[in-house]
Amino acid sequence: MRPFAVGATAALLSVGLFLALWVSPPDSYQGEYVRILYVHVPAALAAYGAAAVACGASALYLWRRDLRWDFVGRAGAELAALFSGLTLLTGMLWGKPVWGVWWAWDARLVTTAVLFLLYVGCLLVRDLADDPERGRRLSAAVAVLAFLDVPVVHYSVVWFRTLHQGPSISLQGVKLAPEFLLPLAVNTLAYLALLGVLLAERARLASLEVER
């Protein structure tokens, strides 16, 4: 099961990279910069997924006090920080050439930065308490609350007037030509598979370290 999952993820990531850098045409307005979309959007969706896993596992840990839920919750929080950090970095590398600025104080950017900082805080708080169990509970509580920011991040472009563009894919329709949709879909799938593999491996490592 493990070699298959790792192999399938590696294959998906390679196909995604090929579609993103070779097959996708440039955009009629932003040119080659559209290729940054294929890391930025999948990374953001992976961050949402990791945050959801961290929230669910942390809630189960607070309820059941089973250490295995803590391992999964910690893996989720680490990956939420990793992928939201990647979302911010790739967003800045797109914003500088296209918008003309690295950063803007708009609702989408601010709420995403808050998401990243919440998960960094969630990981730090774990080691702050003298009693490891208290640290785990504190961290789990932060992970549950931090998830509340995910819908705010996602709908910030609808609820507020932002510099960041609105959703290209929504119930109102798809504003993305099919040439861009396929690489985006494959890369999103690849990043979600990567998230799954990393979650499983990180949680397994945590259980091995406790057994030791």
Partner 1 sequence: MKRVRLAAAVLVVVGSLGYVVAGGLREAVVYYVTPTELQSRPLDPRRPVRVGGQVVPGSLRREGGVLRFVLSDGQAQVAVRFAGSVEGLLVEGQGAVVEGRLGPDGALDARSVVVKHSEEYTPPRSPLPPAERSAP
Partner 2 sequence: MSPWAWVLAAYGCAALLVGGYVWRLWCRYRHVSRVRLGEADG
| 175 is an interface residue for partner 1 by CB under 8 A | yes
Alpha carbons 39 and 46: distance in angstroms, whole number: 10
Report the nearest approach of partner 1 to the CB of residue 130 (Å): 8
The residue count for binding partner 1 (CB under 8 A) is 46
| 152 is an interface residue for partner 1 by CB under 8 A | no
The residue count for binding partner 2 (CB under 8 A) is 29
Task: Using the minimum distance from each CB to partner 2, give the nearer residue, 86 or 142.
Answer: 86
| 30 is an interface residue for partner 1 by CB under 8 A | yes
Report the nearest approach of partner 1 to the CB of residue 2 (Å): 34
Candidate list 7, 26, 132, 151; residue touching partner 1; CB under 8 A: 26
Residues 6+ apart with CB under 8 A from 71: 202, 203, 204, 206, 207, 210
Residues 45/90, Cβ–Cβ less than 8 Å: no
Residues 42/191, Cβ–Cβ less than 8 Å: yes
Token pair in block for residue 164:
């960041």
Of 4-12, 53-61, 90-98, 192-200, the window that binds partner 1 (rule: CB under 8 A) is: 90-98
CB atoms within 10 A of CB 93: 15
Of 4-12, 25-33, 53-61, 185-193, the window that binds partner 1 (rule: CB under 8 A) is: 25-33
Q: Tell me how far CA of residue 61 lies from CA of 6, 20, 71, 125, 197, in angstroms.
A: 27, 39, 9, 16, 21
Q: Tell me how far CA of residue 10 lies from CA of 3, 47, 58, 77, 84, in angstroms.
A: 10, 19, 29, 23, 21
Of 7-15, 50-58, 119-127, 192-200, the window that binds partner 1 (rule: CB under 8 A) is: 119-127
Residue numbers at the binding site for partner 1 (CB under 8 A): 25-31, 33-34, 37, 96-101, 104-107, 109-111, 113-114, 117-118, 120-121, 124-125, 127-128, 160-163, 165-168, 175-177, 179-180
